[in-house]
Structure formats: structure tokens, C-alpha cells
């Protein structure tokens, strides 16, 4: 009777818990979505940064021309005159996702523009990502940990930084795909069902479509499989989880044009094939072991070892020779720079010059994952008690992602979900211990501390079956329905009578009451600090669209919209076929907003082309004119921040132009532009620096602004103040002098003779004398 009552109470509690957790999940989704809307509220619904503009342009093309034209698109308005085959060089996942959403909404007659869909794709998918985190952590530890981890991921600043509303970049959907793939892998590992293995492969396919970081998955999972085999946790579920993934996953990855045959040919995938072979060997060994008797098995082992080792060595030697014969040993430049952090700065200056590829500083860890940095070690310990396949996977995930985030600050993004999962586990375990301590020590509790082998959800004891035979049948009947209604309630609830008496196996950890209450209060405070920091980071640090800048001065808010002003000028005042040359940072924005052909853009796939532009910027006017004329350039665009103090302008990036140009054209030497190893633009600068095109185009007529030519970014007066341009003419400078556009002058009609112009006494010639001081460089 008592059992029936408590069973009924348990069902009710379970049902209540289910509904509760469902609403909590919805709230987490809403939180994830709305915390990313700060940029829309503070600025406007606009696409941020540089890369998202390219994705936006591709999405526009997709929605206008359909998927077949998009698949075969050859873009002739970028990388002039080489063009770019978009269909084969872009990860289509993000574009196809946004295109599908737009098409679906439009077919329902909800007329959202493509831009709106693009701006809000990232917040929507971050809500999905937090739900995926809930599912993943639930597989590892349980519902309470799942909800905590989901709440943490919804707010973690590292993820917010790449998925605010307007940041329409690959990572927006890729992180969701990553977590979802991991969830399906763990689910397959736990259940051993081929259904989840299929879903896993399809989710992996979505990840490959979305981001180049898919190599992380295809290397982490084999590493985990190897770890399981080595630690003796091989099981047939492992085989079911891994082997179909490799076969289907490789096939699906090869379907994506960007990856193509790289799926089988590059070193990044070799680990998966190696472990595929290893797991088959291990499976065979286990099978034979199970079939044979022990003595026969030993005989088999000795036989196979002697034969197999020779074959193995031969195969390995061939493989190593193949891989070693290629200069980069089969790895791509970006992967190599991950493994050897110094590789990029030595060999590929373009990769080294991107600020996202620099190693992070210590404070950036605290800024990006905040409190989670302290909770992760506790989570790792919690994973070890007890260690299961899923929790060993999570531990491996956090260890590898910590290493990679130390190499490149951009990969902090991969660390964020792992940190959230482990912190969620740690927090949930801590809450459980404390609330259990409170529950068992509150006055009025009529129970003795009950046994639970392992952790339970806080608040009540899930009746656990133990080995005692007498209770078995009785318990089985009651537990099956009880277990079906799992408890997800993680808040401390009132004391509950345990429904089933069980033998005490282990004593549970119970802390003193006051300590528990204080500890819970402190934990809640910790969470509050985390929330406050996340909201602050989202509002202040990561919501700037970087195409519109603001500053607060004594007379209010000042908005700098110079970039869009310049692109609008270009699109209204130049011919459709005119070519614009600028540094590669602004390529995507120029093609998307100004709709003009550019020479180089952010894709940076052709180093020689970029080096040509870099050399032109570093050369004197005549040589630069020659280079630009050979590329049919009409206009040159330069970003200059000296008047308003905008620090990411071209003069600050200029040394990278010199380095990249010098890497291909040896007559450009970096020491020529430095005085005593220091980069200066004042009167102490070298003549090469003062005569190069970048200096002239940035500082032309700058002295007219304040009479002294004081550069607010470099904080000095410029070196050469009064000079004229002979081969270029200024056509547009924006309001705050941030973007300056110059036109190439056509070649002169006549070539002058050698005689110097003679001084004439008559007045008829004096009008031309003002021009006589101009040197004609045209011979």
C-alpha cells in the first residue's frame, strides 16, 4: 500500500518534472536568442564584420538564382582577373540553411527579406545549440547536468562573440552541428543502435557542409575509440558507433565539393582510417577469443603475431614513405599551424597576419568562459566517478580543445561547449550533494540516509535495484514505470519518503547542514556573477558590427558610418565594370555593398595575387601605377584612421603588406621601411616609407585638416606633409577621412622632350609657370 502511494507520488513528481524541464528548455532557448540581440537594439539590423558579407552575397545569389546556378556559380567580380569558382570553394551549409529558411518562410507568405533571415540565423541556431548541449550532457550524466550545461552554453561569451545577430558566419550553424554530432555519437555508443549511427553520419555530413573545423570531429572520435580500446573498454557498441560513421561519413564528406577527394587523401583523415583498421583487428581478436578456448587462443596469438608483425611493418613503411614524400606531409597549412604554432609565422605570413589566428592571452580565457574556467577541473573529476564511455569522451574533448584554443584564439569557440558541459556536470553534482545534505538533515526528516549507488538527481532518491534476489521481482515491477517517468527536477524540494527499502551498500556523502546552505548560496552567487558577466560581454564587448562605429563624446553619441558612405559612393559614381583595388580585408564588403569587381578579397586563396597588391602599395607611385594598370584597376581604396583615431587602418596593417609582398617579390624588403627596427611615419621615417604609395594615399592633403598633420593613431606628426600626387587623383574622401578613394590617371597624351623649360620674360608664359615646378616623370 505504501509502495503504491509512493509510486503514484513518484509518477506525479516525474510528470511534473518533465513538464518543468520542458519549460526550462524553452526558456533557455529564448535566453540564448535574446541575449544576442544587443547589436540589433544598439545599432541596427545589419550584417557585421567582413566574412558575413560574403556569405550574405552568396545567399542573395542562391535565393535569386536557385540551387543549380549556385552549385555551378563562377564569380567573375572578385579576384580579378582570375575569378573564383564559388560552388567548389565555399562551405555551403550556412548558405543552404539560411536559403531554406527564407524559402520556407516565403512559401508561407511571410515576406522576410534575405538580410533579416541572415541576421537572425545565428541566434536561432544558438538556441538549437543549447538544446543539443542539453541532450548531450543528459547522455553523459543526467537531466540536471543537461539543463545546467544548456543554460551555461546559452550565455557563454565565447560563443556569443561569433553568433550575435548579424554575425552571419559559418560558426553560427557549425557549433550546433558539432554538438549535435557529438550527442548522436554518444547516443549510439550508449544504445548500440544503428539508427542513431545513421543519424550520426547525417549530422556529420551537415557539419562537413558547414565548417572547415569538421576535421576536429573526424580526429576526436577516432582518438576516443582508440582510448576506449586501450583502456579495455572495447565493446561491440563501440564498433557500431564508429565503423558505419567512418564509411558513411567519408562518403558524405566527399560529396561536398569543397572537401571532395580530400576526404580520403589528406592527412587530416588518416587517423580515422587507421583507427578503422585497428577496431576491425580488435573486433576480430575479441570474436576469436570468444569462440576459442584459452589454450587455442594463445596458439593463435603467437601465430598471428609472428606473421602479422611483418606485414604490418611493411604496410606502415609504405604509408610513411608516401606521406613523407609530400612537402607538408599531407597536412594543409592551417592544420599544420595548429599542430606547430610557429609554422605559420615562418612559412605563411598570410595565416600569421590574421588576428584571429594569434594565440590567446590569459585574460581572454577569463573573458570568454569566465567562471567555467574554475568549474572545468571539478567537472573532470565528476566525470571519473564513475567513468563511462560517454564521460571519457567528454574528458578527451575538453583536453584537446584546451590545447587547440591555446594555439589560436579563434578556437576558443570549440572550447566553449566542452567547458559548459563539464561545468554543468560539476555544478549539478555539487547541487546534488548539497541539497541531499540539506534534505537528510532538515528537522522533520524521518529517514536515514538512503543508499544510492552513484549519484542521483537532487531532491529524491530514485529507487535502485541491487543484487539482492528477494527484492528483485517486486522492485522490477515498481521500478519500470518509475524509471519511465524520470525525474528532472533539480531544485531542492521538500523531503520525500523513500519508496523502497534497499540494502545499504555505500554510505553517501552528507555534509553538515550549515555548510551546505552556505555552499548553495555561494554557488548561486557564482552563477549570478557569471550571468552578469555574460550579459555585460554580450552588450558591450561583442555586439559591435564593426561596419558602423560609435563613440561617446561630451556632445553625445557620435556615429561613424564612413564605410557604407564610401561603398555607396562607389556604387553610384563608378561604372559597373570598374575594378577597385584595396587590401584584402575589404574585398568582401566591396563586392557585396558597392557591387564592384575587386582584385583580392578575404578568401586569401591566392598568395601571389595578394602579394602583387601588397607590392603595389609598398612601391613608389610610378611603379604602383604600372602594377595597377596591368591589372586594369581604375580605383584604389585606402582606409585611414588618423583623423579620428581608428586603429585598424591600413597604415597599421602596412607592415603585413610589406611582408606578404616581400615573400613573393624579393625587391620589397622589410628593413627598408623601418628606422632602427622601429616602424615610424614621422620625420624620422625612411625615404622608402615616405615615398611608398600607402603613405602618400593615406596622408595626401592630411595637413589641411589641422595645419600640422597630427596622426591620432600613431600619435605623432607625419613626416612628409606637402606633396602632390602625379599618377593618382583623389576622387572621394569620407566625412571622417576614414576611407579614401583614388583614381588612376590615364597615361599622358604627349611625351615631353629633354629640354628644360626656359624662363621667359614675357607675361604670356607666366600662367604656365605655376605648373612649371611640376616634374614630369613620364619618360
Q: In the range 576-635, which residues lie near another protein by CB under 8 A?
A: 577, 630-631
Binding mask 633-672 for another protein (x = CB under 8 A): ----------------------------------------
Shortest approach of another protein to residue 192 CB, angstroms? Answer: 6
DSSP code of 686? Answer: -
Count of residues near another protein by CB under 8 A: 91
Interacting positions 308-367 with another protein (CB under 8 A)? none
Binding mask 727-746 for another protein (x = CB under 8 A): --------------------
Q: Which of 201, 229, 426, 689 binds another protein (CB under 8 A)?
A: 201
Which listed range, 99-107, 222-230, 297-305, 724-732, lies at the site for another protein (CB under 8 A)? 297-305
- Based on the shown chain and the rule CB under 8 A, indicate whether residue 197 belongs to the binding site for another protein: yes
- Based on the shown chain and the rule CB under 8 A, indicate whether residue 230 belongs to the binding site for another protein: no
- Based on the shown chain and the rule CB under 8 A, indicate whether residue 262 belongs to the binding site for another protein: no
List of residues 6+ apart from 142 with CB closer than 8 A = 428, 455, 457
Identify whether the C-beta of residue 438 lies closer than 8 Å to the C-beta of residue 494.
no
Interacting positions 435-474 with another protein (CB under 8 A)? 453-456, 462, 464-465, 467
Question: Based on CB atoms, which residue is closest to another protein, 469 or 554?
Answer: 469
> What is the distance between the terminal CA atoms of the chain, rounded to a whole angstrom?
109
- Based on the shown chain and the rule CB under 8 A, indicate whether residue 250 belongs to the binding site for another protein: yes
What's the full length of the chain, in residues? 779
Give the CA radius of gyration of the chain.
32
Shortest approach of another protein to residue 660 CB, angstroms? Answer: 19
CA proximity to 287, closest of 234, 325, 224: 234
Half-sphere exposure of 460 (CA within 13 A, CB side): 23
- How deeply is 189 buried, as exposed, middle or buried, from its count of CB atoms within 10 A (0-12, 13-18, 19+)? buried
- Based on the shown chain and the rule CB under 8 A, indicate whether residue 232 belongs to the binding site for another protein: no
Question: Based on CB atoms, which residue is closest to another protein, 253 or 438?
Answer: 253
DSSP string, 41-86: HHS-S---SSHHHHHHHHHHHHHHHHHHHHHT-EE-SSTTTT-EEH
Which listed range, 149-157, 296-304, 522-530, 614-622, lies at the site for another protein (CB under 8 A)? 296-304
Shortest approach of another protein to residue 503 CB, angstroms? Answer: 15
Shortest approach of another protein to residue 109 CB, angstroms? Answer: 33
Q: Which of 277, 442, 748, 777 binds another protein (CB under 8 A)?
A: 748
Question: Based on CB atoms, which residue is closest to another protein, 303 or 532?
Answer: 303
CA distance 549 to 558: 8
Which listed range, 239-247, 322-330, 353-361, 648-656, lies at the site for another protein (CB under 8 A)? 239-247
Alpha helices in 387-544 (DSSP H): 389-407, 412-441, 472-484, 513-536
CA distance 513 to 508: 15
Q: Which of 67, 105, 227, 248 binds another protein (CB under 8 A)?
A: 248
List of residues 6+ apart from 360 with CB closer than 8 A = 368, 405, 406, 408, 409, 412
Q: 261 is written with which cell numbers?
A: 577527394
Residue 590, SS3 per DSSP? helix
Residue with cell 564610401: 566
Question: Based on CB atoms, which residue is closest to another protein, 363 or 767?
Answer: 767
Q: Which of 469, 507, 775, 779 binds another protein (CB under 8 A)?
A: 779
Q: Which of 288, 373, 378, 523 binds another protein (CB under 8 A)?
A: 288
Question: Based on CB atoms, which residue is closest to another protein, 291 or 321?
Answer: 291
Shortest approach of another protein to residue 368 CB, angstroms? Answer: 29
Q: Which of 753, 773, 774, 775 binds another protein (CB under 8 A)?
A: 753
List of residues 6+ apart from 342 with CB closer than 8 A = none
CA distance 237 to 231: 15
- Based on the shown chain and the rule CB under 8 A, indicate whether residue 755 belongs to the binding site for another protein: yes
Shortest approach of another protein to residue 476 CB, angstroms? Answer: 10
Q: How many helices (H) and strands (E) does the chain have?
A: 32, 11
Q: How far is CA 704 from the centre of its chain?
A: 44
- Based on the shown chain and the rule CB under 8 A, indicate whether residue 71 belongs to the binding site for another protein: yes
- Based on the shown chain and the rule CB under 8 A, indicate whether residue 189 belongs to the binding site for another protein: no
List of residues 6+ apart from 572 with CB closer than 8 A = none
Question: Based on CB atoms, which residue is closest to another protein, 386 or 443?
Answer: 386
- Based on the shown chain and the rule CB under 8 A, indicate whether residue 757 belongs to the binding site for another protein: yes
- For the chain, how are helix, strand and coil distributed in percent, rounded to 5? 60, 5, 30
The helix (run of H) or strand (run of E) holding residue 742 is strand 739-744
Q: Which of 322, 324, 477, 765 binds another protein (CB under 8 A)?
A: 765
Q: Which of 9, 244, 498, 527 binds another protein (CB under 8 A)?
A: 244
Q: Which of 195, 374, 403, 605 binds another protein (CB under 8 A)?
A: 195
Interacting positions 385-414 with another protein (CB under 8 A)? 386, 388, 390
DSSP code of 84? Answer: E
Question: Based on CB atoms, which residue is closest to another protein, 169 or 479?
Answer: 479
Tally Cβ neighbours within 10 Å of residue 158. Answer: 29
List of residues 6+ apart from 125 with CB closer than 8 A = 97, 163, 172, 173, 175, 176
Identify whether the C-beta of residue 135 lies closer than 8 Å to the C-beta of residue 190.
no
> 733 — phi, psi (to 5°)?
-135, 135
Which listed range, 148-156, 193-201, 506-514, 722-730, lies at the site for another protein (CB under 8 A)? 193-201
Q: Which of 292, 322, 509, 515 binds another protein (CB under 8 A)?
A: 292
CA distance 734 to 667: 34
Amino acid at each position: 500500500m505504501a509502495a503504491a502511494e509512493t509510486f503514484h507520488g513518484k509518477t506525479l513528481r516525474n510528470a511534473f518534472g518533465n513538464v518543468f524541464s520542458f519549460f526550462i528548455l524553452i526558456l533557455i532557448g529564448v535566453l540564448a536568442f535574446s541575449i544576442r540581440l544587443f547589436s540589433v537594439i544598439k545599432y541596427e539590423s545589419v550584417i557585421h564584420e567582413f566574412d558575413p558579407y560574403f556569405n550574405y552575397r552568396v545567399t542573395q545569389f542562391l535565393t535569386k538564382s536557385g540551387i543549380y546556378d549556385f552549385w555551378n556559380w563562377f564569380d567573375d567580380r572578385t579576384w580579378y582577373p582570375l575569378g573564383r569558382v564559388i560552388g567548389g570553394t565555399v562551405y555551403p551549409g550556412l548558405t543552404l540553411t539560411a536559403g531554406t529558411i527564407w524559402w520556407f518562410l516565403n512559401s508561407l507568405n511571410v515576406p522576410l527579406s534575405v538580410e533579416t533571415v541572415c541576421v537572425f540565423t545565428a541566434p536561432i541556431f544558438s538556441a538549437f545549440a543549447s538544446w543539443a548541449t542539453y541532450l548531450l550532457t543528459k547522455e553523459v550524466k543526467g537531466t540536471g547536468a543537461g539543463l545546467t550545461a544548456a543554460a551555461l552554453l546559452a550565455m557563454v561569451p565565447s560563443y556569443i562573440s561569433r553568433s550575435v545577430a548579424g554575425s552571419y558566419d559559418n560558426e553560427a550553424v557549425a557549433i550546433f552541428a558539432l554538438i549535435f554530432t557529438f550527442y548522436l555519437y554518444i547516443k549510439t555508443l550508449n544504445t548500440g543502435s544503428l539508427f542513431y549511427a545513421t543519424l550520426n553520419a547525417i549530422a556529420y555530413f551537415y557539419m562537413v557542409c558547414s565548417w572547415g573545423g569538421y576535421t576536429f570531429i573526424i580526429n576526436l572520435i577516432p582518438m576516443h575509440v582508440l582510448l576506449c580500446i586501450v583502456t579495455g573498454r572495447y565493446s561491440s557498441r563501440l564498433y557500431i558507433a564508429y565503423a558505419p560513421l567512418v564509411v558513411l561519413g567519408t562518403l558524405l564528406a566527399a560529396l561536398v565539393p569543397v572537401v571532395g577527394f580530400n576526404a580520403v587523401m589528406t592527412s587530416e583523415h588518416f587517423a580515422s582510417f587507421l583507427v578503422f583498421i585497428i577496431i576491425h583487428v580488435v573486433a576480430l581478436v575479441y570474436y576469436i577469443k570468444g569462440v576459442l578456448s584459452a589454450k587455442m587462443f594463445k596458439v593463435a596469438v603467437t601465430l598471428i603475431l609472428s606473421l602479422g608483425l611483418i606485414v604490418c611493418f611493411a604496410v606502415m613503411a609504405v604509408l610513411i614513405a608516401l606521406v613523407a614524400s609530400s612537402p607538408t606531409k599531407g597536412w594543409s597549412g592551417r592544420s599544420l599551424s595548429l599542430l606547430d604554432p610557429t609554422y605559420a609565422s615562418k612559412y605563411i605570413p598570410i595565416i600569421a597576419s590574421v588576428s584571429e589566428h594569434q594565440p590567446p592571452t590569459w585574460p581572454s580565457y577569463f573573458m570568454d568562459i569566465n567562471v567555467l574556467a574554475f568549474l572545468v577541473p571539478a567537472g573532470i573529476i565528476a566525470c571519473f566517478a564513475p567513468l563511462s564511455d560517454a564521460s571519457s569522451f567528454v574528458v578527451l574533448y575538453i583536453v584537446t580543445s584546451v590545447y587547440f584554443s591555446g594555439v589560436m584564439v579563434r578556437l576558443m569557440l570549440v572550447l566553449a561547449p566542452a567547458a559548459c558541459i563539464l561545468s554543468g556536470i560539476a555544478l549539478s553534482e555539487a547541487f546534488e550533494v548539497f541539497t541531499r545534505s540539506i534534505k537528510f538533515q532538515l528537522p522533520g526528516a524521518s529517514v536515514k540516509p538512503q543508499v544510492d549507488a552513484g549519484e542521483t538527481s537532487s531532491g529524491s532518491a530514485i529507487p535502485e535495484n541491487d543484487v539482492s534476489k528477494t527484492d528483485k521481482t517486486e522492485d522490477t515491477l515498481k521500478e519500470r514505470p518509475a524509471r519511465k517517468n524520470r525525474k528532472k527536477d533539480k531544485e531542492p524540494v521538500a523531503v520525500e519518503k523513500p519508496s523502497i527499502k534497499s540494502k545499504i551498500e555505500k554510505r553517501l556523502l552528507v555534509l553538515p547542514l550549515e555548510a551546505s546552505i552556505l555552499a548553495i548560496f555561494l554557488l548561486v552567487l557564482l552563477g549570478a556573477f557569471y550571468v552578469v558577466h555574460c550579459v555585460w560581454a554580450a552588450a558591450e564587448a561583442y555586439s559591435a558590427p564593426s561596419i558602423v562605429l560609435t563613440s561617446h563624446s561630451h556632445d553625445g553619441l557620435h556615429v561613424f558610418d564612413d564605410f557604407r558612405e564610401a561603398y555607396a559612393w562607389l556604387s553610384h559614381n563608378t561604372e559597373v565594370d570598374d575594378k577597385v583595388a584595396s587590401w584584402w580585408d575589404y574585398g568582401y564588403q566591396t563586392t557585396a555593398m558597392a557591387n564592384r569587381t575587386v582584385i583580392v578579397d578575404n578568401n586569401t586563396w591566392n598568395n601571389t595575387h595578394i602579394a602583387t597588391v601588397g607590392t603595389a602599395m609598398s612601391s613608389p607611385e610610378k611603379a604602383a601605377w604600372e602594377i595597377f594598370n596591368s591589372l586594369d584597376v581604375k580605383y584604389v581604396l585606402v582606409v585611414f584612421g588618423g583623423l579620428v583615431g581608428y586603429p585598424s587602418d591600413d597604415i597599421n596593417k602596412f607592415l603585413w603588406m610589406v611582408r606578404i609582398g616581400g615573400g613573393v617579390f624579393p625587391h620589397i624588403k622589410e628593413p627598408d621601411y623601418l628606422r632602427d627596427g622601429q616602424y615610424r611615419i614621422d620625420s624620422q621615417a625612411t625615404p622608402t616609407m615616405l615615398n611608398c604609395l600607402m603613405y602618400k594615399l593615406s596622408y595626401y592633403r592630411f595637413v589641411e585638416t589641422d595645419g600640422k598633420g597630427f596622426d591620432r593613431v600613431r600619435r605623432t606628426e607625419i613626416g612628409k606633409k606637402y606633396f602632390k600626387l602625379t599618377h593618382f587623383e583623389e576622387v572621394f574622401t569620407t566625412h571622417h577621412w576614414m576611407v579614401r578613394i583614388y583614381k588612376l590617371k590615364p597615361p599622358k597624351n604627349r611625351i615631353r622632350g629633354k629640354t628644360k623649360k626656359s624662363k621667359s620674360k614675357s607675361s604670356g608664359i607666366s600662367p604656365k609657370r605655376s605648373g612649371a615646378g611640376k616634374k614630369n616623370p613620364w619618360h
